[in-house]
């Protein structure tokens, strides 16, 4: 696990993303949708080499 994925807030987002893909997107600007959270995780520098990210990506 990377240092970033152990951060409390990032870890919380990763826990939410375990239910990927989640409900269908209804509004393109719904910041609470899992798609936007996944983009934030990627923008934060987490990569597929992180075990928790890999599990999410494998569901896609």
Which pTM was predicted? 0.81
pLDDT at residue 4 in the model: 66
> For 1-43, what is each residue's pLDDT tens digit?
556 667 899 999 999 999 999 999 888 888 899 999 999 999 9
Tell me the two tokens of residue 10: 């990032």
Tell me the two tokens of residue 23: 């409900």
pLDDT at residue 56 in the model: 93
Q: What are phi and psi of 12, to 5 degrees?
A: -65, -40
């Amino acid at each position: 696990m990377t240092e970033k994925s152990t951060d409390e807030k990032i870890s919380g987002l990763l826990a939410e993303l375990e239910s990927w893909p989640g409900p269908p997107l209804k509004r393109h600007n719904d910041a609470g949708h899992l798609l936007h959270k996944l983009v934030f995780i990627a923008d934060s520098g987490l990569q597929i080499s992180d075990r928790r990210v890999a599990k999410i990506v494998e569901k896609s």
